[in-house]
Amino acid sequence: MTLLIDSLSKVYFCTGARNHELLAPLSKNKLAFEYDERMASFKALGFIKAQEAPVAVCTTSGTAVAECVPAMLEAYYSKLPLILISGDRPKKLHGTGAPQTIEHELLTRGSRGSYFEMDLTEFLEFKMEDVEYPVHINVLIDDTTSHDQKIIHHKNLAAFRDFLQVKKSPLFIFSHESRSMLPLVEKFTALKIPFYAESMSGARHLSSLSSERDLVTLFNQGAFDCIIRIGHTPLTKIWRLLERNPLPVLNFDERGMPGLSFGEVLTYSSHDLLQSPIWWETLSSFQTSPLVFESKDLGPLMEKYPESEISLMRNLQNELKEDDVIYLGNSLIIRFFELTQAKKFLIFGNRGVNGIDGQLASAIGLAEGTKKTVYCILGDVTTLYDLSSMREMPGNLKLIIMNNKGGRIFDMLKLDKRIVMEHGLNFLDISQGFKLKYTNDLKELDDTQVLELFPNQDHTARFLQEWNS
Ligand SMILES: Cc1ncc(C[n+]2csc(CCOP(=O)(O)OP(=O)(O)O)c2C)c(N)n1
């Protein structure tokens, strides 16, 4: 019996970071690269019909797996040999709210004949014996280090007082919640305690740490002796670093989730904290010294690399007004927006499990629910994923596409070039086909419905290299 990784008539490989480790072993088969899992899994069904042989679709974690369920259902009721291979996060992160971590096993119940869960080594040796099609193989890929820290749930704010009692230099992070966190952060600023507020918190403009770069530098220098996170699972890189270099973490999370494999949790929202005397008393009696560090300024690099994606994002923000409603997509979009944000905006996005699916549709719903203009900023791959939503865009929605010609987050993560899915497409014809007014000139933003910007990849790469050095 041959190994699964050698025996497939075709693999539709859907791009993602979590399943990236599966790319090299699956490369012995005929490969097709895809970004849309729903489409890829239906293509697999067609290929099965033509070849009468098993075909696999390989996906990253999160909603990417859910997108394969329609094709799995069709395969189940048609008895077709479809194989869904999903890359997953390690078991210790399941149920914690860690980024892009959901219960894959639950998703294919009712649409599969067999289910297997295994680690990477077992996957490399897996032989398809006694399986009922369609099959779901979930591969747990562990890139964390092991430590003996635990998850502790507390019931009341006395735990906050106890936690802070022995700490000298905490880092406060305000991430995001189902509502704006601005009221809490506004009051917090008066305490003069250093903090980092992400864009999605609604209070980015107040953040005492102005860039994630400063935050990471300080973290790596050991400037913090603990992290206090308010809101849902943060976007910042610090959060991923913590899984490898654990510090004591206290979370105020309205969902009651640690977002990591360890940490203390209090099920409180920012609204609860705003009204809690213990929270304010504990903070006002806390002595902290100001952080001493040299903050780097973006200005000179923006002048030097005016066509970088970061510079284009800042130019775009200059055109927007305070309190404008912004919808942010993945992946560099939200990072570069946060990097360059100085104004107060009302910011929305889908940060629960970070899927790139349905982003334009969510922005359309947002626009349908408000009288204000919604500025939806998406990457090109994210826009391509949701093209049918362009058919009917409300008049108060402006779609701004940052077309860097592929999923450039994977370039930044230094992953296999093939999963960037570099392309030369633009959105002119499709916009006009849907009768949407199109421009690629930022100055015409007021008078258009689709604005497409084309960053210069070389400028972006050099900018980031110098910024991070
Ligand atoms: C449904 C789903 N499939 C796959 C992914 C993995 N993924 C994260 S970012 C990304 C590419 C996004 O590309 P683009 O929209 O062009 O933004 P850029 O990376 O260039 O900023 C992909 C495929 C995901 N998050 N969600």
Please tell me the distance from the alpha carbon of residue 409 to that of residue 257, in angstroms, as a whole number: 26
* The pLDDT value given to residue 293: 85
Taking every pair of C-alpha atoms in the chain, what is the biggest distance, in angstroms? 72
In sequence order, what are the residues at sequence separation of 6 or more whose Cβ sits closer than 8 angstroms to the Cβ of residue 40? Answer: 12, 14, 32, 34, 57, 59, 68
What are the Cα distances from residue 358, in Å, to 324, 365, 407? Answer: 22, 10, 16
* The pLDDT value given to residue 38: 98
DSSP assignment of 368-382 equals: HT-SS-EEEEEEHHH
Q: Where are the domains of the chain?
A: 4-140, 151-284, 299-468
Protein residue with least CA distance to atom 1, ligand 1: 64
Residue with tokens 């194989």: 83
Q: 206, 184 in Cβ contact below 8 A?
A: no
Q: What is the DSSP letter of 291?
A: P
In this chain, the answer to whether the domains covering 4-140 and 299-468 adopt an identical fold is yes
Residue with tokens 């809690």: 276
Q: Which of 381, 419, 420, 454 to mutate to test the pocket of ligand 1 (most atoms within 8 A of CB)?
A: 381
Sign of CA dihedral 213, 217, 223, 224: positive
Q: How many residues does the chain have?
A: 469
63 lines ligand 1 (CB under 6 A): yes
36 lines ligand 1 (CB under 6 A): no
464 lines ligand 1 (CB under 6 A): no
CATH architecture of the domain covering 299-468: 3-Layer(aba) Sandwich (3.40)
Please tell me the distance from the alpha carbon of residue 400 to that of residue 90, in angstroms, as a whole number: 36
pTM > 0.95: yes or no: yes
Instruction: List the chain pLDDT tens, one digit each, 469 residues.
Output: 789 999 899 999 999 999 999 999 999 999 999 999 999 999 999 999 999 999 999 999 999 999 999 999 999 999 999 999 999 999 999 999 999 999 999 999 999 999 999 999 999 999 998 899 999 999 999 988 888 889 999 999 999 999 999 999 999 999 999 999 999 999 999 999 999 999 999 999 999 999 999 999 999 999 999 999 999 999 999 999 999 899 999 999 999 999 999 999 999 999 999 999 999 999 999 988 788 888 899 999 999 999 999 999 999 999 999 999 999 999 999 999 999 999 999 999 999 999 999 999 999 999 999 999 999 999 999 999 999 999 999 999 999 999 999 999 999 999 999 999 999 999 999 999 999 999 999 999 999 999 999 999 999 999 999 999 9
Q: 398, 376 in Cβ contact below 8 A?
A: yes
DSSP assignment of 75-121 equals: HHHHT--EEEEEEE--GGGTTTT-TT---HHHHTTTS-SEEEEEEHH
Atom of ligand 1 nearest to the CA of 309: 21
Q: How many other CB atoms are found less than 10 A from the CB of residue 460?
A: 23
Protein residue with least CA distance to atom 8, ligand 1: 16
CA angle 410, 106, 13 (to 5 degrees): 30
Q: How far is the centre of ligand 1, averaged over its atoms, from the C-alpha of 156 (Å)? A: 39
330 lines ligand 1 (CB under 6 A): yes
87 lines ligand 1 (CB under 6 A): no
Please tell me the distance from the alpha carbon of residue 435 to that of residue 392, in angstroms, as a whole number: 9
* The pLDDT value given to residue 65: 98
Q: How much of the chain is helix, strand and coil, in % rounded to 5?
A: 40, 20, 45
Protein residue with least CA distance to atom 7, ligand 1: 16
Say which CATH class 4-140 falls into.
alpha beta
* The pLDDT value given to residue 147: 81
151-284 CATH: 3.40.50.1220
Burial 193-212 (b: 16+ CB within 10 A, else e): bbbbbbbbbbbbbbbbbbbb
64 lines ligand 1 (CB under 6 A): yes
Q: 87, 22 in Cβ contact below 8 A?
A: yes
* The pLDDT value given to residue 446: 97
